[in-house]
Structure 1
Amino acid sequence: MAVMVLVVVVVVLFVLCICSALLRWNELKYRKKGLPPGTMGWPIFGETTEFLKQGPNFMKNQRARYGSFFKSHILGCPTIVSMDPELNRYILMNEAKGLVPGYPQSMLDIMGKCNIAAVHGSTHKYMRGSLLALVSPTLIRSQLLPKIDQFMRAHLSGWDNQVINIQEKTKEMAFLSSLKQVASAECEFIAPVLQPEFFKLVLGTLSLPIDLPGTNYRSGVQARKNIIRILSQLMEERKASKETHQDMLSGLMVSEENKYQLSDEEVIDQIITILYSGYETVSTTSMMAVKYLHDHPKVLQELREEHMAIRERKNPEDPIDFNDLKSMRFTRAVIFETSRLATIVNGVLRKTTEDMELNGFVIPKGWRIYVYTREINYDPFLYPEPLTFNPWRWLVCDLFFLLFLLSFSMDLYVWFKFDQTGFDCKLQDKRLESHNYFFIFGGGTRLCPGKELGIAEISAFLHYFVTRYRWEEVGGDKLMKFPRVEAPNGLHIRVSSY
């Protein structure tokens, strides 16, 4: 017995020595002159497990030890984490100076090498132009909003006296609404086979690129292949039929009228990007808006009044139009506040194309820089009482915040209107939305091209939801906010007619 105990102790000590040696070796490997302080964790895996499990707490602990600019090894590559708002703004606004997109290999493999998040320079400009042409205000008004309205009416029908999983419903909504805009004529036929593959693809984008059976990465790669097969067949059928369609796929495919002559591979990667970007943000923001509205009755009351006023101007079957959308000021504020407080996008990745100096440190060529914008959303100087759900903050800003903004940007055109509520500060009619550290939708040349389309989709969803239904939560469903905002067991609500 004593011998067995001794053997176990020896084995444990040996394992501890090996682990210590590996950690020490990895630290020495990345101890280059000029690098910021930090830890690198294990070989290959780095600190990815701690990052994914602890999320914001991991970042806060590292910042407490090393400051707002430190090194780590996450998602398969050595990475510099920047939590400094001013430096983050510089990094996002200076892609031309060698700070190009640097997304993890898993995302590049699954989203495609031609997706807009991966390319840079003239290629990015060209691909971005092809996307912007699909989501212009004119097209939102004439083509996209009518499709969104028609879809939302149908999707939200029949919920009365039901217990529903609002997370599942908003995921279906976001995917199917985008697919209807992408391929309007074929949406009904391809959705049943495309949807399960797409959900696998989404899970695979945030994973270690380990190609083993049962991993999210392998499942995501296989899902991409299946999606490519489905979309390629659809494109071939359209080319053969020569029918005209008013949808995004038609707008991307080569034609005499289209100045963006994309290859089939580029078209498919653009379609995957459209489906992915709209799905993640629209579904999660819609779910969390339902959650926050339930928890804040005064916000729900004002939102409902805004939408009831729109309905009173219309016949029961009249759709919402572009003017209605523009009048939804409080709805827009609810969407921004939901996105801020839930923090659906935690940050963005960049990669250095050469050795460069940042913040007094030398960052080697090929290293990733994680522009971690999450904490900006909870900065009390930018957002007083940052943990409070307060959509009104996006409509009115006080004198203190005005002076804070002016200290950074003296060229803001500001004027005041004083009434019984105090100063109503308008900054280029955009208020908080225009401040220098508003990164909810990205920044610089990487500002989300589908921002207004996504807002239109969420606004239409909220319009029909709050004017048709009231709801209450069923059970205490748990919410996770990192690495994705999600309810692991769903978010269940009991719906009744309003």
Structure 2
Amino acid sequence: MDPFILYSLAFALLYISLYLIFFILKGNYSNNKHTNLPPGSYGWPILGENIDMAYSSSPEKFIHERMEKHSSQVFKTSLFGEKIAIFCGSSGNKFLFSNENKLLTTWWPQSLTKPLLCPTQSQSQNSIKKIALSNRGFLLEILKPENLKQYIPFMDSMARDHLKQEWVPFKEVKIYPLVKKYTFGLACKLFLSIEDFQHVKKLSDPFILVTSGMFTVPINLPGTPYNRAIKGGKMVREELMKIIKERKINEKNNHSDHLLSRLISFSDENGQFMNDAEIYNNIIGLLVASYDTTSAAITFVLKYLAELPKIFNEVYKEQMEIRKSKGEGELLNWDDIQKMKYSWNVACEAIRLMPPAQGAFREAITDFTFGGFTIPKGWKTFWNVYSTHKNPKYFPEPEKFDPCRFEGSGPAPYTFVPFGGGPRMCPGKEYARLEILVFMYNVVTNFKLEKLVPHEKIIYQSSPVPLNGLPVRIQPHGNLA
């Protein structure tokens, strides 16, 4: 055998062995300190229950099996090399949402932070917390509805162009990859003022590597998803930092209104401007959300519309009323979006049944109790969508597609949580709503959809993904407006 290969294997075994010893010693120490921990299992050394989750048919099944076996309120597990308490039910969601920055603080797995954040930032969770706290107000400001109104015509125009180029010439299309292409292109346009296809592709290709390895065990060995995520993240980081430095020079003489420009010119109450790393981290967070979760949401909305003719027809009626009120070539505006009430109920029901994001992590900053169990300081917590979205206690006949659930006051508090809740509600919620509705409008008013793989398998990465890309046959209603 080649000496280099032997050396590599020996190094890999040594690395894993040392990691294993550290993990076991760390676990034993932690277990001796606290006796009233939540029920559950840590799974395999190093790997924890990552394998169990990966080989389960879905994260939903993983969660529900452990709720039944251990506790319907909170159970312990080990994922991504960390001890994690998974909170369940509306009471678990309410507890975590209500205790932000009191008992808990921001935390994300290393498999997400190290590939994506700048090297000086990714080495410290404290840096992540600082960025999250200091810049959240800014993001909430620029992403609130009043400021997003100006984006609607751009979204509509790009959606029209996208359909003309990628849908109209064909009888059959794969929805998922096309939607990802649209959402990422739109994000590059609105956030970075980048329109050139090759430039967009230079960012999107390595992004695929990053998103595929974001929630895996952080073992950086050749061939692992985490290793590929590290490589992809390096390419994304280099390209974005290059763009930021160039725009800083150009903005001195030519101020524009895209998000990157506003980040560059933003200063806090002390007159301090963001440095390049902070600007980068704000942009990268928005790009990840727009590329992954919003793409999944749109894809599964269209999946259900293709499967349910009665639902499709109701959405079609609502959207055609809006379309008929528009002049030739007139783009959508804020008032049009407000009329899409039934369409948004349909989108919410699709998101309930097939959530684009699984939940979010926090870190305990002190020991506390929940459900009669102790969560030690330093433990990670996770609230999840699966313990409520299909729970018959909150949603009768949970597998039934029923948009009426969202009429009036809608579901009970803390039960429908695709965007989180409390002070850490996702700041991009309204942006996602606009993007979903605009794309729905353009597809539904132009095409009928017929699924080509009736029982297509869904696989789970950071978001659910249709295995075959959701291939459909499209039947145009008529010429595009």
CA offsets, 1:335-377, max 9 Å, x none?
Answer: 1111101122222211112222222222222111122331200
- What letter is aligned with 2:189? K
Residue 85 of structure 1: aligned partner: 90
| Range that drifts further, 340-349 or 50-59 | 50-59
Q: Distance in 2 between matches of 1:280 and 1:447?
A: 18
- What letter is aligned with 1:377? H
Q: Does 1:373 align with 2:385?
A: yes
- What letter is aligned with 2:183? A
Q: Distance in 1 between matches of 2:160 and 2:302?
A: 17
Residue 251 of structure 1: aligned partner: 262
Q: Distance in 1 between matches of 2:425 and 2:24?
A: 40
Residue 419 of structure 2: aligned partner: 441
Q: Distance in 1 between matches of 2:393 and 2:370?
A: 25
- CA drift at 1:189: 5.1
Q: What runs of 5+ residues in structure 2 fail to find an aligned partner?
A: 1-22
- CA drift at 1:27: 8.2
Q: Secondary structure at the match of 2:410?
A: helix
Residues 174 and 470 in structure 2, CA contact (< 8 A), matched pair in contact too: yes
Q: Does 1:470 align with 2:411?
A: no
Change (3 A) 1:494 1:122: same
Calculate the TM-score normalised by the size of structure 2. Answer: 0.85
Residue 428 of structure 2: aligned partner: 450
Change (3 A) 1:60 1:257: closer
Q: Distance in 2 between matches of 1:252 and 1:64?
A: 47
- CA drift at 1:214: 1.5
Change (3 A) 1:434 1:38: closer
Residue 61 of structure 2: aligned partner: 57
CA offsets, 1:420-450, max 9 Å, x none?
Answer: xxxxxx4xxxx11673433111111211111
Change (3 A) 1:119 1:311: farther
CA offsets, 1:265-315, max 9 Å, x none?
Answer: 011111110010122221111111111011111110010011100111112
Residues 101 and 119 in structure 1, CA contact (< 8 A), matched pair in contact too: no
- CA drift at 1:494: 1.2
Residue 469 of structure 2: aligned partner: 490
Change (3 A) 1:163 1:50: same
Q: Work out which of the residue numbers 66, 76, 99 in structure 1 matches 2:104.
A: 99
Calculate the TM-score normalised by the size of structure 1. Answer: 0.82
- What letter is aligned with 2:149? R
Residues 96 and 121 in structure 1, CA contact (< 8 A), matched pair in contact too: no
- CA drift at 1:120: 7.3
| Range that drifts further, 151-160 or 256-265 | 256-265
Q: Secondary structure at the match of 2:458?
A: coil
Residue 238 of structure 1: aligned partner: 247
Q: Work out which of the residue numbers 123, 132, 136 in structure 2 matches 1:124.
A: 132
- CA drift at 1:466: 0.7
- What letter is aligned with 1:148? M
In terms of Rg, which structure is larger? 1
Residue 149 of structure 1: aligned partner: 156
Residue 49 of structure 2: aligned partner: 47
Residue 282 of structure 2: aligned partner: 270
Q: Work out which of the residue numbers 206, 213, 218 in structure 1 matches 2:222.
A: 213
| Range that drifts further, 150-159 or 118-127 | 118-127
Q: Secondary structure at the match of 2:219?
A: coil
Residue 112 of structure 1: aligned partner: 117
- What letter is aligned with 2:92? L
Q: Distance in 2 between matches of 1:135 and 1:118?
A: 25
Q: Distance in 1 between matches of 2:68 and 2:326?
A: 56
- CA drift at 1:476: 3.8
Q: Work out which of the residue numbers 98, 118, 134 in structure 1 matches 2:142.
A: 134
Residue 5 of structure 2: aligned partner: none
Q: Distance in 2 between matches of 1:256 and 1:100?
A: 24
Aligned length: 442
5 Å matches for 1:58-73?
A: 58-68=62-72, 69-73=74-78
Change (3 A) 1:252 1:260: farther
Residue 190 of structure 2: aligned partner: 181
- CA drift at 1:453: 0.9
> CA RMSD for the aligned pairs?
2.7
Q: Distance in 2 between matches of 1:477 and 1:437?
A: 28
Q: Distance in 2 between matches of 1:485 and 1:256?
A: 38
Residues 294 and 356 in structure 2, CA contact (< 8 A), matched pair in contact too: no
Change (3 A) 1:434 1:476: closer
Residues 26 and 41 in structure 1, CA contact (< 8 A), matched pair in contact too: no
Change (3 A) 1:52 1:274: same
Residue 37 of structure 1: aligned partner: 39
- What letter is aligned with 1:136? K
Q: Secondary structure at the match of 1:382?
A: coil
Q: Distance in 1 between matches of 2:406 and 2:369?
A: 36
| Range that drifts further, 163-172 or 61-70 | 61-70
Q: Distance in 2 between matches of 1:492 and 1:439?
A: 29
Q: Does 1:361 align with 2:379?
A: no
| Range that drifts further, 327-336 or 257-266 | 257-266
Change (3 A) 1:125 1:40: closer
Q: Distance in 2 between matches of 1:391 and 1:357?
A: 37
- CA drift at 1:169: 0.7
- What letter is aligned with 1:60? H
- CA drift at 1:50: 0.2
Residues 71 and 78 in structure 1, CA contact (< 8 A), matched pair in contact too: yes
- What letter is aligned with 1:245? S
- What letter is aligned with 1:454? A
